[in-house]
Copies of this chain bind each other. A is one copy, B any other.
Amino acid sequence: MFTISPSVRVRPSPYFEATVAAGVKSFTTYNHMMMPTGYGDPEAEYWRLINGVSQWDVAVERQVQLLGPDASRLAQMLAARDLEKCVTGQGRYVALCDHSGTLINDPILLKLADDRFWLSIADADIIFWARAIAAERRLNVSITEPDVSPMAVQGPMAEDVVASVFGDWVRELKYFWFRETSIKGIPVAVARSGWSKQGGFELYLMDGTRGTNLWDIVREAGRPWDIGPGNPNHCERIESGLVNVGGDTDDSTNPFEVGMARFIDLNIGDDVIGIEALRRITAAGPRRHLIGIVLEGKQPLPLPSQWSPVLRDGKRVGDMTNCVWSYRLNANIGFGLVSIETVAGDEIVVLKEGTHVAGRLRELPFC
């Protein structure tokens, strides 16, 4: 175990003091900020998400705001998904690809107005990408990182907690839709979203000075449901088949390889970045796909620090991109990014730290 050094270059979150008060023990970094990764009891934090309600500092989900007359055009150029029917108050999960069709980010796009969008991004400097495209195409749009810091409330009891704070109207919110509101003078956008499959909401705090206030409001409101602190849960997200762009993808992964085909529209305009490449990739057929791996053995393995080669019949067919002990399956599981000929049911071997671990492929999600 190593400590993480304080640094001006790696910013704390508006919820930092609240998470310290809640007993945070470990962090990772993401979008040049610190993100809590544990409060000392991984298994309890996992079951709280599965059975109750968990409160997460996900301020690292930074927003890239597109504002101005060409904001809508730019949003469509960046996202390989038809946004024509997306209305104000709606969010869409989108693939950002580069010109060769490689997936570079998978944000939620939130439409706040006809001329204002947020891209709630995974870990990468998409602001430079968006600015380069906008400037090179001479679009009239301002691209900034606004003062917006999401907190997630996740788990089967999340709706009750969020409704108790904001009112029963939140129960009517459709998935990825959101509404701007405020609580005790704190401006927030309430969205039905979050990086788990247990249901829940993300509260987009729009005033970074009020992080502790918002955290405490949710914590107090959640007491009847025994809310507690947590974070995007490595185990649950793997069980649920959620892709981590930058972790499960490499520098040549296209969206079709990681289960994002249903979020790609090939019939949109030719000025959408990567669309021609995505059409070519579709025509040629994908070479790899993401699939589940269940390893043999009934003891948790150490967390991997790198991708691990996957062999079938002694030949390398791809990589295991993550690995975690599943509390629900009582097995070590993970994703394989493997050749398309390698399918569920296949017996494989994973090379981990110089040893061979046997396993079997299966469909995603696990749970």
Contacts and interface: CB of A to CB of B under 8 A. Distances in A.
A8 B98 contact: no
B8 A27 contact: no
A38 B7 CA distance: 13
A136 interface: yes
Given A2-B4, A26-B2, A322-B8, A246 B131 contact: no
**Total copies of the chain:** 2
B136 A8 contact: no
Interface stretch (A118-126, A189-197, A212-220): A118-126
A299 interface: no
A24 interface: yes
Nearest to A123: B9
Interface string A3-17: 111111111100000
Given A29-B29, A123-B32, A128 B4 contact: no
A131 B28 CA distance: 27
Contacts of A144: 251
A137 B99 CA distance: 12
Given A99-B135, A125-B128, A321-B8, A2 B2 contact: no
Interface residues of A, number: 52
Q: Is the interface of A mostly helix, strand, loop or mixed?
A: loop
A241 to B, nearest CB: 16
A244 interface: yes
A145 interface: yes
A306 interface: yes
13 contacts: A2-B4, A4-B26, A5-B28, A6-B305, A10-B28, A11-B305, A99-B135, A124-B125, A124-B128, A125-B128, A128-B128, A128-B132, A132-B136
Interface of A: 1-12, 24-30, 32, 37-38, 98-99, 104, 123-126, 128-129, 131-133, 135-137, 144-145, 244, 246-248, 251, 273, 303-307, 321-322
